[in-house]
Structure 1
Amino acid sequence: MTEPRVVSIVPYKILPARLGGEKGIAVFNEYVGERVPLLAISTKNNDVSATKNYKMLNWLSNSRVRYVNIFLVLTIRKLIKQHNATHFLIEHPYYGWLAWLVKKSTNITWVVHSHNIEFERSKSIGRWWWKGLKLYEQWVYKQSDINFFISEDDRSFAIEELEINSAKSFAITYGVEIAGIPADIPQARKIIAEKHDIRSDEKILLFNGALYHHTNYEALQVILDKINPVLLAQAIPYKILVCGKGLPAFFNELKPYKDKNIIYAGFVDDISIYFKATDIFLNPILSGGGVKTKAIEAIAYNCTVISSTIGALGLVRSVCRDKLHIVADEDWATFAELVKKAMIVNSDTATAFYDYYYWGNIAVKVDTILTNKKGRSVDA
């Protein structure tokens, strides 16, 4: 059986990978690249020295014109021939038109790596042209040979709502790079406690994200106005750490909340230390589509996650088990009660979680699919 060889196109900057979306592609490439040869083409503003186990050519323009550059057909065809590629993978459906034209003139297997249902996301944030995007996205998934969806929820939605062939659709989730509970949790707890003057008897609660984004700063406002006041009234000592860059000026660096158990840490270079030190991760998200990668990362670091329903979309509850507690959107009284309970009773992340979410295991699944799914006919 012929070994898969992949050429992929990444439509935007992912290196160095810092945010969840960037990691979702960069780390996917790193682990899949351990198993199959992978060459990516992406934008000029990528730092190609940050690649690991795969190669990247930063040939694409940083301009939006790159999305409609017809000359890319010749470039991709040449790369496929030079590298004897068996698969052409597009990140997101944006370059579906390109993959369709390339497939017309080559014997390549076309793969779409979806990171959310794009038209649903556009609809949720009020973009008037979401219906046109829906038709295009549906066409791309129907024309491709293999579709990788970021969750079982997205896969089911595509099959049921967009009538995509289930036999060529797979859930390839966002993963984690640790295969089990970290051994250095006590050391991380000590480092963070000393840095932020947190007592040993205080529970550590964490909220982090790109705070300039309305999805995150609205969730932070919920923590400040709805959740923390309830926690202040109970006897269990705690501190809430807030991490992330771009906090809007009207929050005044959270100075008014210093005497209310709120600590603003700002942007941190290594969020993993904070995850390891944390007992409970707060995820009261109220908008935005796709899988919330920080919730997956939190559970991997043995944090218990208390989340709104929207904040838990796409997570596999059966493997998260007692580390994930989901509350109906805007039911902040129940949310606060679950936080209080988690302060008292807390379990460890199950082995089943790492079996499902560890990138090494995900890469094995991808390799198997690519090996077995070649030369499939396209459904109309």
Structure 2
Amino acid sequence: MKILYFYPENPLHKTQGNNARALALLEYFKTRNIETDFVGVATNIFTEKEIDKLKEEKLISNGYLLPIFIRKKNKLKYFFYQSLPNRITRKIGLFDRTRIGHFEAFNNVLKENEYDVVLISYVYWSRLIKKSPNLKNSRLIIDTHDFLTSQFQKKKKFQLGRFFQKEIEILSAFDKILVISPEEKYVFSQFVDKEIALATHALPSKNNSKTESKYDLIYVASDNEHNIAAVNWFFENVYPLLSKSIKIAVIGKISQYVGEFENVEKISFIENLDTAYQQSKIALCPMLSGTGVKIKVIEALSFGIPVVCNERGIDGLSNKTNNGCLVTNDPNEFAEYIHKLLNDEDFYAQISSEATSFFNNFHSLEANYKLLDKVFGL
């Protein structure tokens, strides 16, 4: 089998949950000896050098990058070729992240190769294959990653019916739809007459790899608007209630939004995220908004690390209780959970055991790979 996999960012940047999802799929393809070509979008930090690293790790056979389009330097071209046509046809621009040159570059790859499957990440990028003359007999699969209509609800000119209808219309153009959470599967299955497969995020179990703790709390996140709101809520409402002897690690792009605190170590990038988890006692996921599975929660559970989170932190999990997560929207209770985990060894052992059991039952490689085998017809 030969697959063309489009994912816009660098899967090797593991401090973002979406990248971890993409990397997990590449590792699955590798274990199944699926020949995989990869297409990303070039940026100042995603270059041919990173494509070479993916090849070195034997995760891909060939790699391509769609050209950089800098809107500020191409204002007229963007207006006449993208913005104005969208206004005339009343297209919802938020659903389309392709830029001038992307469709042509992607279709050059399709033209020069034959693929059994073309896998597109995100509804945003579906236009890459729309009305393409070069698809041949490829099966089209989309990995949704998220329910986008919900993500757009605070945007100007948002109209629920119009936006949801557009998302369903895009999904219906694919042969199969890959979703990461049971909630997404339920919603989409009510409106799309195509196969919808649940393949949640899976990782190797690492609960036996814990080392001596360096951090009491670990918070890993990118810098999207939901995570920015979450980290602000935590440091404004929960942090003042915590003992200042507690050592906290904030890892990823979110660290630039955290002030200077004596007991907080900020790490914008880390080569091996596993090392940080191995040295941590508790994971934080103070999410107030956003949809879909929180990859950082699953990553923590794979190490048997208890998670303290808000209600949004358990979105997408098959079980909402006895899963290794302590859930509250109340800052005082959030802080109390942290203190109890750090000070009560029996309580910590109980929640850690629940984390390990839940992870093994629902997010192990073995369970998830069986589902993916069915998706890709293996």
Tell me which interval the TM-score lies in, with the shorter structure as reference length. Answer: 0.7 to 0.9
In the alignment, which of 173, 190, 205 is matched to residue 179 of structure 1? 205
Q: 1:351 to 1:180 in 2, by over 3 A?
A: farther
Deviation of 1:73 after TM superposition, in Å, equals 7.1
Q: 1:241 aligns with which of 243, 249, 254?
A: 249
Distance of aligned partners of 1:362 and 1:338 in 2 relative to their CA distance in 1, 3 Å threshold = same
Residues in 2 aligned to 1:150 and 1:73: alpha-carbon distance in whole angstroms: 25
The CA deviation string for residues 278-302 of structure 1, in whole angstroms up to 9 with x for no partner, is 2221222112333221111111122
Q: Is 2:235 aligned against 1:224?
A: yes
CA drift at 1:351: 4.2
Tell whether the 8 Å contact from 1:31 to 1:53 is kept in structure 2 after alignment: no
Q: Deviations over 1:238-288 (max 9, x none)?
A: 433333446457x5422xxx3xxx323433523322222222212221123
Residue 123 of structure 2: SS of its match in structure 1? coil
Q: Which residue of 1 aligns with 2:31?
A: 34
1:283–1:311 contact (8 Å) kept in structure 2? yes
Report deviation, 1:123.
Answer: 1.9
- Asked if the contact 1:67–1:94 (Cα under 8 Å) also holds between the matched residues in 2, the reply is no
The aligned runs of 1:61-210 (5 Å cut-off) are 61-63=67-69, 66-67=98-99, 69-71=102-104, 74-79=107-112, 82-83=113-114, 85-102=115-132, 106-124=136-154, 126-128=155-157, 133-160=163-190, 163-165=191-193, 168-176=195-203, 178-183=204-209, 185-187=210-212, 189=213, 192=214, 204-210=216-222
Aligned partner (choices 285, 310, 313) of residue 311 of structure 1: 313
The aligned residue for residue 91 of structure 2 is none
Distance 1:238 1:16 in 2: 30
Unaligned runs of 5+ in 2: 71-77, 79-97
Q: Which residue does the alignment assign to 1:23?
A: 20
Equivalences, count? 332
Q: Partner of 1:369 in structure 2?
A: 375
Q: Using the alignment, how far apart are the partners of 1:180 and 1:56 within structure 2?
A: 31
**Could you say what the CA RMSD is over the residues aligned between the two structures, in angstroms?**
3.1
Cα deviation, residue 341, structure 1: 3.5
CA distance in 2: counterparts of 1:33 and 1:182, whole angstroms: 25
With structure 1 as the length reference, what TM-score do the two structures score? 0.75
Check whether the contact 1:116–1:149 (CA below 8 A) recurs between aligned residues.
yes
**Could you give the per-residue CA deviations for residues 19-53 of structure 1, whole angstroms, max 9, x where no partner exists?**
22222213312222331222222234342112233
Unpaired runs of 5+ residues, structure 1, are 194-203, 373-380
CA distance in 2, matches of 1:244, 1:28: 21
**Contact 2:256–2:268, Cα closer than 8 Å, also in 1:** no
Give the number of the structure with larger relative contact order, counting CA–CA contacts within 8 Å between residues 6 or more apart. 1
CA contact (8 A) 2:323 2:357 kept: no
Going from structure 1 to structure 2, the CA distance change for 1:351 and 1:311 (only over 3 Å counts) comes to closer
* Match of residue 266 from structure 1: 267
Could you tell me which residue of structure 2 aligns to residue 375 of structure 1? none
* TM-score, with length taken from structure 2: 0.76
Name the counterpart of 1:277.
279
Q: 1:76 deviation in Å?
A: 4.8
Match of 2:359 among 335, 343, 353: 353
Aligned to 1:333: 332
Q: Is the 8 A contact 1:291 1:314 kept in 2?
A: yes
Distance 1:133-1:61 versus aligned 2 partners, 3 A rule: farther
Q: CA deviation at 1:309?
A: 1.0
Q: CA deviation at 1:353?
A: 1.3
Cα pair distance change 1:127/1:364, threshold 3 Å: farther
Change (3 A) 1:20 1:337: same
CA deviations 1:46-100 (Å, max 9, x no partner) are 4211223322422411227844655357425424xx34x2222111123334434
Cα offset for 1:367?
2.3
SS of equivalent residue, structure 1 residue 206: strand
Change in Cα spacing, 1:252 to 1:229, as seen in structure 2 (3 Å) is closer
Pairing 1:323–2:324 present: yes
Aligned position for 1:215:
226
Asked if the contact 2:41–2:66 (Cα under 8 Å) also holds between the matched residues in 1, the reply is yes
Letter in 2 for 1:309: E
Partner of 2:53: 50
Deviations 1:307-363, CA, capped at 9 Å, x for gaps: 111122112326x83411222xx4223323333333321232334513532346433
Counterpart residue number, 1:198: none
Residue 13 of structure 1 corresponds to: 9
